Amino acid sequence: METLATVQETTVTKKTKTISGSQAVLEAFIAEDVDTIFGYPGGAIMPIYDALYDYHDKLKHILVRHEQGGIHAGQGYARTSGKCGVVFATSGPGATNLVTGLADAMIDSTPLVCITGQVYAHLLGTDAFQEIDVINITTPVTKWNYQITDATEIPAVLAKAFYIAKSGRPGPVLIDITKNAQLQQFEYEGYQPCTHIRSYRPKPIIRKEYITAAAELINKAEKPFIIFGQGVILGKAEKEFKAFVEKTGIPAAWTILGLSALPSDHPLNVGMLGMHGNYGPNVLTNDCDVLIAVGMRFDDRVTGRLDKYAKQAKIIHLDIDPSEIDKNVKATVGVWGDCKETLPMLTKLVESKVYPQWVNRFREYQLEEEKEVIHEELNPSTDVLTMGEVIRNLNELTGGNAVIVTDVGQHQMVACRYAKFNQSKSNVTSGGLGTMGFALPAAIGAKFGAPERTVVAIIGDGGVQMTIQELGTVMQSEVNIKILILNNEFLGMVRQWQQLFHDKRYSFVDIASPDYVAVAKAYKIEGQKISQREYLRDALTTMLNHNGSYLLEVMVGKENNVFPMVPQGCSVSEIRLK
């Protein structure tokens, strides 16, 4: 006679199968809708790569040339797709090569799940070949990390990893798996996505009384000002934010990671904040009466001197991460919560208004900046090409519809200042960490994250040499990206500081470059180099229309500077036009 226990046992048997820990990792990826992995194999992660051989029809793997390139590619993928980037690396140097990317992703709130191989569990702590304590090394630069020594933990730990990486304020997670756990066979009962972790609250409880208090301040304001960051994009709250801006009639300015959350041509989009931001947004920060910060963290490059920052204003700060509120700038009203939820609540309570005189002040400063800086940058009167005119021509040819991936330096600030965007998730750059070498691998990932879009990597001659080996990844993966090198034959941003603040003592900033077109050709990538204005438009058109990846090197002014500029140690209202 069949008993209840027999039926239950039969049911369990049907649901389980014996698989390896490595297979369990890949099954988790499929369940989490992962389609692309960026990685580099090695001894300690070899069992996972062996299992991947049988999953090639379900999971695409992009072989990078360096683990740092892999994690930056994962970041680019996450930033354009809105999904979680996934990265593989082996133990020892493979794992430590991820650290820069982890730090970059941590400070820029990019969701990643990184899997590192590790030596056998019985060798831990013995200084075995390529053993490193990756958990302690990466603890400060991950949202969560964990070491697995038993394969039975893999399904639950990976479910937790994806949940933590994607939920709340996103960030990187690293899971270190010993080789024995990768090889271990166990009874696999399926994958259950994680939706809750005790003691972890990704979204703080929204306090309606703070929403009400914020609305009251906004309704009484005479010169309100909105500053917005990447939190709007990460919260998928672009529509909600636009509705809030348009109902309130308040001018809004962006941080470099907030760029593209609001269309560049929106009449209330008044430009960029920060050290190389626009004149009006910086000066009028210290003149507004209510400052509304949405999904941004008051970074020092935005605030300048904190003791001179918006002291006259009531501060409203909306953020999903309660630790950011009052961290740098004391808020009059702190609104905890996901801005996709808090913004509609706030929009409902605010009055429909317009501020013609106040908005006109931003326009007046814009006209002054155009006269003193922008016109000459975009339409130079000399024979020397400027970075700004390259960006202007690129805008006109792409119609503001391209994904722009920038490295770090003068070209980054120029691109952020002058690039135009019609849709969100179009600006990919290293914000908080400022990682040179970011753009080339990030552009590769960005294209895999948004395959239907044109992806242009804008890189300086310094940054491109840090990860130039990823041209091999471009070649082998046949990814179609456009590589635009703006070459001023200097480490330009450092040189600008040495010129302005160190009496032109140019100490080790004169950098030599290889023949980039020849290097690209060695990797089977077409390209050309120009130095004259008459060839610029045609060269950009050729690059954009080329069927496949293309490298264009543009020689620009050696000692051109990026202005406006807030000197270090000054307030935002002390911004210089020259």
Is residue 192 among the annotated active site residues? no
Residue 508 three-state SS: coil
- Among 179, 420, 425, 482, which one carries the catalytic annotation? 179
For 98-129, b/e burial (b = at least 16 CB within 10 A) is bbbbbbbbbbbbbbbbbbbbbbbeeeeeeebe
Report the DSSP beta bridge partners of residue 530. 554
| Cα–Cα distance measured from residue 84 to residue 87, given in angstroms and rounded to the nearest whole number | 10
* Contact yes or no for 151/177 (Cβ under 8 A): no
* Contact yes or no for 48/88 (Cβ under 8 A): yes
Is residue 341 among the annotated active site residues? no
Q: Which sign does the torsion angle of CA 196, 121, 38, 457 carry?
A: positive
Is residue 179 among the annotated active site residues? yes
Write out 248-310 in H/E/C secondary structure.
Answer: HCCCEEECCCCCCCCCCCCCCEEEECCCCCCHHHHHHHCCCCEEEEECCCCCHHHHECHHHCC
Spacing of C-alpha 327 from chain mean position? 22
Is residue 185 among the annotated active site residues? no
- Among 60, 130, 246, 376, which one carries the catalytic annotation? 130
Dig out the tokens for 491 from the structure: 């480490």
The owner of tokens 């996709």 is 340
For 441-466, b/e burial (b = at least 16 CB within 10 A) is bbbbbbbbbbeebbbbbbbbbbbbbb
Is residue 389 among the annotated active site residues? no
Parallel, antiparallel or unpaired: strands 550-555 and 482-487: parallel
- Among 32, 67, 324, 389, which one carries the catalytic annotation? 67
H or E stretch including 186?
Answer: strand 185-188
For 288-314, b/e burial (b = at least 16 CB within 10 A) is bbbbbbbbbbbbebbbbeeeebbeebb
- Among 493, 543, 553, 563, which one carries the catalytic annotation? 493
- Is the peptide bond prior to 564 cis by the omega test (within 30 degrees of 0)? yes
| Cα–Cα distance measured from residue 323 to residue 321, given in angstroms and rounded to the nearest whole number | 5
Residue 221 CB burial class (10 angstroms; 0-12, 13-18, ≥19):
buried
Neighbours of 386 (CB within 10 A): 22
Spatial CA neighbour of 355 closest among 228, 243, 252? 252
The owner of tokens 């309606």 is 208
| Cα–Cα distance measured from residue 224 to residue 313, given in angstroms and rounded to the nearest whole number | 9
- Among 15, 129, 192, 396, which one carries the catalytic annotation? 129
Residues carrying an active site annotation? 67, 129-130, 179, 493
